[in-house]
Each structure stands twice: as C-alpha cells, then as structure tokens.
Amino acid sequence: MKNAIEIKNVTKEYAHFKLDNLSLDIPAGVIVGLIGENGAGKTTLIKSILNIIHTSQGTIKRFSSKMEEEDLDVKQDIGVVLDNMFFPEILTPKDINSIMKDVYKNWDTNLFYEYLKKFGINDTQKLKTMSKGMRKKTEIATSLSHKPKLLILDEPTSGLDPVVRNEVLDIFQSFVCDEEHTILFSTHITSDLEHIADNIVFIDKGKLLMNQTRDEILDRYGILKCDISSFDKIDKKDMLRHIKHKYNYEILVDDKEKMCNKYKDFVVDKITLEDLMILMIKGEE
C-alpha cells in the first residue's frame, strides 16, 4: 500500500515542549484519527506536515515528495481545515469562490455551491457574522471543492450540532471510498473517530504511544473493574494502566476475551477511545 504521508524521526523543540523523534506512515486510502490531550503535539505535527512550521530534524514526505522538494502540484492535492479559520472575516463565501478558483487549478465552483446549499450557507453573508459552526462548514466546503487527494483536518467538527456532524462525517467517508483519497483527522470528539476512522494514532507529550487500527483497539482492549478489596487478586502482568477511584479500580487490559475467561468474577467492559486516552494518560502502570 502506498503512503500519503511518511514521517521519519521528526523532532520539533520549543521552550516547554518537544515533538520527540516521531516516525509515522499514513497509508493512502484511509481515514487516520489523531488523538491526544491538549498540548500532546497534534497541532505541531499537523503544522509540520503542512510546512507551516519547520522541524528541528527528520524528514516528512507527502506523496513521496520531501517538503523542500515539493512543487505546486503537491500543494494543489492537499485540502486543509484548521482549528482557527485562516480566511479574513470580511470575506463572504462568494468572495472565497472568486479567490480560490484562481489559486487551485481543479477548483470546482459548482461543487462549492453544492456544499454551500447542502450546509445551508448564504454565499453573501460575511464570515464575521456567521456562527462558529457555519464558519466551520464553509471551511469544509472550501477544503473539498478543489478535489484534493489528501485532507488534513484539525477539529473539523467542533462547533457543529450532532445532525450536521453526522452529515459531515458521511461526506468524509465518501471522500475516501475510492481508496485513493486520504484523511488525517485530529479531534477531541473521539466518538467521531469511532464511527469513521480506519486507523488511530495516539500521541502524548510529543511521543507516539499507539498506532493501530480502530477495530484492533476497540475489539482487543477492555476495562476490568473491581472493588478496592479485590485489586490484589489481579495479576499485575495483566495491567497496562489502572486508575483508583473512591470505591473501585478501573484497569486497562489487553485481550479482553482472555481477561473475561481468566477473571470470571469481575466485569470486563468494552473500551471507547475516550476511555483509552484517560487510562493511558492518567493511569498508573
């Protein structure tokens, strides 16, 4: 399988943070969910991929092209939605269309207006008068309308109501259905990734903690729950992380089916991506 993005030994140092020797391949034709708490390095990684910031060391390739070697064709093939809108707020969607058709050779005005209609956006309304959700929908419409091969999305569904979020997620799934398009999707709404992501990349404090398929994570890991007095009955080798609450423990375990058979007197629940994040970041080994 081809890679849409190849990241090798990338480091970016700030005064109080370091993206630390991170290596990662993003396969073409999939949706990759990027998770981690605030300050974990998600936005730093995205901005490094987009060449908005320069890394201290390492290489990043997009479509097999190094950033220093890339040409305009590479940039034409990348659509972006960042957490903070990069359009001046005095613009209207109509203005955006006029600008973008001169920037992107594959810009499709008809497609852009189809998205505006689908999202209920007035093309003459200034961005500064729109709600956060409406501005986000305008960004999404813009990112899709030049027919990119790769979408890089930072919190694309924040500020959207559940109905519109589901509509947007359906659009993203349709985008990759031909297996030639790719999405890197960073979000705090982990339930969105449980619906559409193929792979999950989990980073914390600038380091890669996990890179597995969504199904591997949700099918394999579990949360074993026991009361305080029963904690010592659990083999420490079976604990990946644990959190002590007032009356019980929650324990992250691998191979939940095996744990169910081994600890028949305890409950082993299914895990969510949010559960996984909390236990991996806040739990004790």
Could you list the residue range(s) of the whole structural domain that residue 185 is in? 3-217
Q: Are residues 147 and 210 in the same domain?
A: yes
pLDDT tens for each residue of 96-133: 999 999 999 999 999 999 999 999 999 999 999 998 88
Residue 54: per-residue pLDDT: 86
Question: Residues 202, 162: one domain?
Answer: yes
Residues 72 and 161 grouped into a single domain: yes
**Alpha-carbon distances of 198 from 15, 128, 159, 191, 228, rounded to whole Å:** 34, 35, 24, 13, 37
Q: Are residues 250 and 177 in the same domain?
A: no
Whole-prediction pTM: 0.90
Residues 137 and 194 in one domain: yes
**pLDDT tens digits for 158-206?**
888 899 899 999 999 999 988 789 999 999 999 999 999 999 999 999 9
**Which of 187, 217, 247 is where one domain is finished?**
217
User: pLDDT tens for residues 28-80?
Assistant: 999 999 999 988 999 999 999 988 888 889 999 888 766 554 555 677 889 99
pLDDT-above-70 percentage for the chain: 96
230 and 179, same structural domain? no
**Predicted pLDDT at 1:** 62
Distance separating the N- and C-terminal Cα atoms of the chain: 35
